Structures are given as structure tokens and as C-alpha cells.
Amino acid sequence: MRYRRIKDVMTHDVVRAGRETPFKQVARLLSEHGISGLPVVDDGRKVLGVISETDLLQHQVQRQEGRGRRRLRLPKPTRTARAAAAKARARTAEHLMTRPVLTATPEEYVTEAARTMWEHRVERLPVVDDEGRLVGIVTRGDLLRVFLRTDQEVRRDVIEQVTRGLGLPRHAVDVVVDAGVVTLRGHLERRADAELAALIAAHVDGVVAVTDRLTHRPAPARPPRAGGLSSLSGHM
């Protein structure tokens, strides 16, 4: 079965910053390119961290709050508070960025990237090669493009994947797709094949849900256990 990989949806020409990129230049890059975050790389294009609009906003908020608290005696700061204070003093990308950074590789499936973003509440993943060098970036918007495929495209892929996966002729399963919802109809020999057909269809790019209307031959009745009747008659 075919899943779309990150290399199929990622952006190759990545807007990025270096260690010494000034705060205002980072803000300008985000604004000019209409993006909400970017990776920070070293001279060898290895990813060091990421900067988001949230990091810039936190910088400003912390600076304002810090001015009002200078004369107050505060408790010992936590690790999170120390990190926030460091960002408030940041003048370059190196001190403004968030790290460690989550990354992806071009050969990973989009489902893996989606799971990482959801679990860690991030909106983008730098894509790196085997040496950790930046080769692209993938965002939530890139992943959502999978669901913008037309019903005709989805139907074609479902038919191809299901029939090839089960070794069936293309007319063996009737496939209807409406707004990404796939309905499967037809009669298959085995229950396992019907269940597998629905599973394959559910993993085709752009499928929102699967309605399984497939039928199958009933499972053969189990023969009685040998010796069952004689053992009963022996006790009568």
C-alpha cells in the first residue's frame, strides 16, 4: 500500500536564519515571506533550532514584565523561567531559538510527521538528511494538502491499491468516493479479504473515512470433534 512521504509535500527552498542573525532580521524574514517560523542553521546547514512567532512575542512580553519586576524580590526561577528570561535578553537567532529541535527525514511518511506535530504541539518540522543538514521543511499546512485531492484521484488510488493488494481484478470491488468518504461494495470470498480491503482503503492519501459494504462467503461450519459422540454414549 502507498503512503505519501514527506519529500512529496515538503518545501525545498527554506527560509532560514544563522546563529548571528539579528532579532529584527528574523522578524523581517517572517513578515516578508508570510511564514510563522523558520529553522536556525550553522555554516554547514546543520539544524540548531527553530524560531517561531511565539518566540518573538515571548521576547517582547518578558521584556515588559521584567521591567516591572526589577525591584521585587522573586523566588528562585525555574528552568522554564530561566529559558524565558534568556529569550527576553536575546539579540540574535542563537539565543532566541527553541532547542532541542524536532526534525523529520524525506523518506518518512506524512502520517509520522503528523503524529510528531500533534504529540509535541509544533507547527513545522525541519527536514534533514542523514548528516543532519537542512534539505526542506514541512508544515501542518503541507500535511493538510493531502486531503485536498479530488474524489476522482482518491477513487483511482483506492481501486488500484485494494485490487492489487488482494490480487483481484479491478472490477471486483465497486468504489464510490464522496467528499473523501469511501464506500466499498462487492462480494469477496473470505471475510479476511473484506476486512483487509477496508484497511487498505483507509490508508490511501486523502481518504477521510471508509464505509464498508462488502459481503463475503460465510465461514465453513466447524466439524464436530472426533470421539465426541462416543464419549457421550459411554456415559449414558
Quick: pLDDT tens for 5-64: 899 899 999 999 999 999 999 999 999 999 999 999 999 999 999 999 888 887 666 555
CB 47 within 8 A of CB 19: no
pLDDT band for position 72 (cuts 50, 70, 90): very low
* Tens digit of each residue's pLDDT (9 = 90 or more) over 122-155: 999 999 999 999 999 999 988 888 888 899 999 9
In the predicted model, what is the mean pLDDT of residues 86-107? 85
Q: Alpha-carbon Rg of the chain, whole angstroms?
A: 28
Structure confidence at residue 131 (pLDDT): 93
**DSSP conformation letters of 155-184:** HHHHHHHHHHHHT--GGGSEEEEETTEEEE
Domain parsing of the chain, residue ranges: 6-77+84-146, 149-216
Structure confidence at residue 224 (pLDDT): 65
Structure confidence at residue 203 (pLDDT): 87
Question: What is the rounded distance in angstroms from the CA atom of residue 180 to the CA atom of residue 205?
Answer: 10
Is residue 66 over pLDDT 80? no
What 3-state class would DSSP assign to 124? strand
> What is the CATH code for 6-77+84-146?
3.10.580.10
Write out the CATH class of domain 149-216: alpha beta
The alpha helices in 41-176, defined as continuous H runs, are: 53-69, 79-88, 93-96, 110-120, 140-144, 151-166
pLDDT band for position 3 (cuts 50, 70, 90): low
State phi, psi for 59 to the nearest 5 degrees: -55, -50
* Max avg pLDDT among 88-97, 180-189, 222-231: 180-189
